[in-house]
């Protein structure tokens, strides 16, 4: 039995979120939902998440899980908003605790528990989550961040930020706790799945020369054509390539707002005495 998959693309951050359902029972999961954020005004909005809710409502799906592949550094998560509106549980890899320990001092978030308890379920490599009659298998795929996981549902794997489309390559490995060598090993693990396995990306930045955004490919295609990790590219060659490209990349525009919200499962910081929630900008830290 194959899951039913619908993709939602956020043109502001080039993020792909997914609504994945067991067609028999109508039980669904949302993977990597986006909370819209305008850095110019400091306003959040729920347009992207509401589009997913509307699609789920139209098909009478019951959203049971909100699956995060990692604590995103380029967009805010709508996990907390969707938890409030649907009662679904927010899931992330157990190593989120490492990410929380890294960033708590950066933002001086004294109220942030670093045991992952802001999330509803912390998952381990090999663990399964029930999606109606289907199983979601958790694969640890660290490297981009220490807490990255991929979710396999039948022949579909949601790879988060490990791989991008073959003509673009792979995710960066230079965030705190990131590691190119670890990323290579995680990717090879994904690419050792059967060749026809469908892979769903969390981002597409449209490689130069390509006209349209794309986010679905297969293990076979990645092994044949991925610019950074196709068959024949060894670990050392990958690490050299990844490291030199990472040296040229700016920090994502939304890294500071994103991290401080996403390590709390998408909750905005607690309001101050005047009822207003504030984001912090740590100076000279990243
Ligand atoms: N320009 C984008 C860059 C976002 C970014 O750094 N994305 C990460 C994933 S969170 C990445 O791996 N990028 C790889 C690359 O651009 O080569 C932004 O500012 O949001
Ligand atoms: Fe990312």
Q: For residue 91, what are the β-bridge partners?
A: 67, 121
Q: For residue 43, what are the β-bridge partners?
A: 38
Q: What's the DSSP call for residue 214? A: -
pLDDT of 255:
98
pLDDT along the chain (286 residues), means of 10: 97 98 98 98 98 98 98 98 98 98 96 97 98 98 98 98 98 97 98 98 96 98 98 98 97 98 97 97 94
Whether the model pTM is above 0.75: yes
- With the most atoms of ligand 1 within 8 angstroms of its CB, the residue from 203, 228, 250 to mutate is 203
Distance (Å, whole) CA 15 – CA 34: 8
Per-residue b or e along 178-202, where b marks 16 or more CB atoms closer than 10 Å to that residue's CB: bbbebbbebbeebbebeeebbbbbb
The answer, yes or no, to whether any atom of ligand 1 lies below 6 A from the CB of 163, is: no
Q: Beta-strand (E) ranges in 176-237? A: 198-201, 216-218
171 CA → ligand 2 middle, Å = 7
> Ligand nearest 168 Cα, by number?
1
24 CA → ligand 2 middle, Å = 32
| pLDDT 10s digits, 115-149 | 999 999 999 999 999 999 999 999 999 999 999 99
The answer, yes or no, to whether any atom of ligand 1 lies below 6 A from the CB of 22, is: no
pLDDT of 146:
98
pLDDT of 1:
87
| Helix or strand holding residue 234 (H, E) | none
Atom of ligand 1 nearest to the CA of 75: 20
Residues whose beta carbons lie less than 5 angstroms from ion ligand 2: 161
The answer, yes or no, to whether any atom of ligand 1 lies below 6 A from the CB of 10, is: no
Determine the number of helices (DSSP H) and then strands (DSSP E) in the chain: 7, 15
The answer, yes or no, to whether any atom of ligand 1 lies below 6 A from the CB of 206, is: no
Closest CA to ligand 1's atom 4: 252
Q: What's the DSSP call for residue 267? A: P
Sign for the CA dihedral angle at 246, 213, 69, 78 comes to: positive
- Residues 49, 32: contact at Cβ < 8 Å? no
């Amino acid at each position: 039995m194959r899951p039913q998959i619908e993709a939602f693309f956020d043109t502001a951050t080039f993020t792909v979120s997914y609504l994945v359902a067991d067609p028999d029972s109508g039980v669904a999961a949302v993977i990597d939902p986006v909370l819209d954020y305008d850095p110019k005004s400091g306003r959040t909005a729920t347009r992207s998440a509401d589009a997913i809710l509307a699609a789920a409502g139209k098909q009478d799906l019951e959203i049971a899980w909100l699956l995060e592949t990692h604590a995103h550094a380029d967009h805010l998560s709508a996990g907390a908003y969707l938890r409030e509106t649907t009662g679904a549980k927010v899931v992330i890899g157990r190593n989120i605790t490492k990410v929380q320990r890294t960033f708590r001092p950066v933002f001086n978030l004294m109220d942030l528990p670093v045991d992952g308890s802001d999330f509803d379920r912390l998952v381990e490599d090999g663990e399964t989550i029930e999606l109606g009659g289907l199983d979601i298998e958790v694969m640890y795929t660290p490297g981009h961040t220490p807490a990255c996981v991929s979710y396999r549902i039948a022949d579909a794997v949601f790879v988060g930020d490990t791989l991008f489309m073959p003509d673009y390559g792979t995710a960066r490995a230079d965030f705190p706790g990131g590691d190119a060598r670890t990323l290579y090993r995680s990717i090879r693990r994904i690419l050792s799945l059967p060749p026809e396995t469908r892979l769903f990306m969390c981002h597409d930045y449209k490689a130069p020369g390509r006209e349209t955004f794309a986010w679905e490919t297969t293990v076979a295609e990645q092994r044949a054509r991925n610019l950074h990790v196709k068959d024949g590219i060894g670990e050392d060659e990958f690490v050299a390539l990844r490291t030199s490209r990472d040296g040229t990349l700016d920090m994502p525009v939304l890294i500071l707002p994103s991290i401080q919200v996403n390590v709390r499962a998408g909750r905005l910081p607690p309001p101050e005495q005047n009822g207003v929630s504030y984001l912090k900008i740590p100076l000279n830290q990243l």
